[in-house]
Amino acid sequence: MKKGRTPIIAGNWKMNTTPTVAVELAKAVVEKTAGVKGVIRVVCPPFVSVHAVRQAVAGSGILIGAQNVHSKDSGAFTGEVSAPMLDGLVEFAIVGHSERRKIFGETDADVAAKAKAVAARRIRAVLCVGESLEIRESGRAEQAVRAQLKASLEGFDAWGYLAVAYEPVWAIGTGKAATPEQAGDMAGAIRQELKSIAGREPVDGFAILYGGSVTGENAGPFVDRPDIDGALVGGASLKADDFAKIVQVTASIAASAK
Ligand code: PEP
């Protein structure tokens, strides 16, 4: 975390919580993170709960994210949700999560189209990239992530509407987080790659998050790395206490950042 950047802590609730439970969780997050300054708090509930959660967090400063989006504005795509439908309901949208890439077969080109679609609606894309265990063990992680990032940003130019989450696939939901060094080094490489793709550094800087088994206990050393500006949190975001702890730790690191 470098001085001048506002950290983002985003909770990806995935396919968990009924609308009733989602509202309860959102209210608990409001209560337990009230008064914490200098951190952008984001919750990403399932689509069916977005509206209710938005109402539950109204006035708290907490922002809402979508977990996915379709790249087309409308049409015969049964079951899908488009960026215009999310306009006014969410401020962020996760695109290219590894579960979408792996389970639902999303390609880099699909992800690039989604990132463009949300940014066109002034929704900030949280673009996920990350290598598999096999690639990490082969020593090609940085090369693979740089290539994935470039391909997932093909034709993208709305740099103010982008955050990148480095999420090594082997660290997601496994309880086996990357080390802060691994995550910090990759975030540095991502920042360099972004500068070369964008051709300049945007005034506000790029937000780069780490994701993969982040908890209240281990979050600090990640956010303390100069190139990591927050976290994308899965499992721990379903527990308001744990999520609040991540927000609090991040706030105190940001407050003393140089
Ligand atoms: C995620 O799904 O984006 C994630 C980081 O999950 P977890 O925190 O559970 O590893």
Q: How many helices (H) and strands (E) does the chain have?
A: 10, 8
pLDDT in tens, the chain (258 residues): 888 899 999 999 999 999 999 999 999 999 999 999 999 999 999 999 999 999 999 999 999 999 999 999 999 999 999 999 999 999 999 999 999 999 999 999 999 999 999 999 999 999 999 999 999 999 999 999 999 999 999 999 999 999 999 999 999 999 999 999 999 999 999 999 999 999 876 655 789 999 999 999 999 999 999 999 999 999 999 999 999 999 999 999 999 988
Separation of first and last alpha carbons in the chain: 8
DSSP 122: T
pLDDT given for residue 93 in this prediction: 98
Question: In 117-252, which ranges are E strands?
Answer: 124-129, 162-166, 207-211, 230-233
**Within a domain: 101:** yes
**Selection from 228, 241, 234 nearest residue 214 by Cα:** 234
**Within a domain: 146:** yes
pLDDT given for residue 3 in this prediction: 87
**Within a domain: 103:** yes
Nearest CA to ligand 1 atom 4: 234
Half-sphere exposure of 159 (CA within 13 A, CB side): 14
67 within 8 A of 90, measured Cβ to Cβ: no
How many CB atoms lie under 10 A from the CB of residue 139? 8
**Within a domain: 2:** no
**Selection from 12, 188, 19 nearest residue 96 by Cα:** 12
**Within a domain: 172:** yes
pLDDT given for residue 233 in this prediction: 98
Six-digit token string for 65: 């994210």
**Within a domain: 1:** no
pLDDT given for residue 205 in this prediction: 72
Catalytic residue selected from 97, 99, 131, 142 = 97
pLDDT given for residue 203 in this prediction: 54
Is 70 one of the annotated active-site residues of the chain?
A: no
**Selection from 29, 27, 4, 25 nearest residue 16 by Cα:** 25
Looking at residue 93, its amino acid is A
Six-digit token string for 201: 């550094």
User: Is 173 a pocket residue for ligand 1 (Cβ < 6 Å)?
Assistant: yes
15 within 8 A of 46, measured Cβ to Cβ: yes
How many structural domains are present in the chain? 1
User: Is 214 a pocket residue for ligand 1 (Cβ < 6 Å)?
Assistant: yes
CATH no. for residue 244? Answer: 3.20.20.70
pLDDT given for residue 227 in this prediction: 94
- Per the structure, the complete domain to which residue 209 belongs is given by 8-257
pLDDT given for residue 49 in this prediction: 98
pLDDT given for residue 144 in this prediction: 98
| Residue 71 main-chain phi, psi, to 5 deg | -80, -20
User: Is 12 a pocket residue for ligand 1 (Cβ < 6 Å)?
Assistant: yes
240 within 8 A of 32, measured Cβ to Cβ: yes
**Within a domain: 59:** yes
**Within a domain: 3:** no
pLDDT given for residue 258 in this prediction: 80
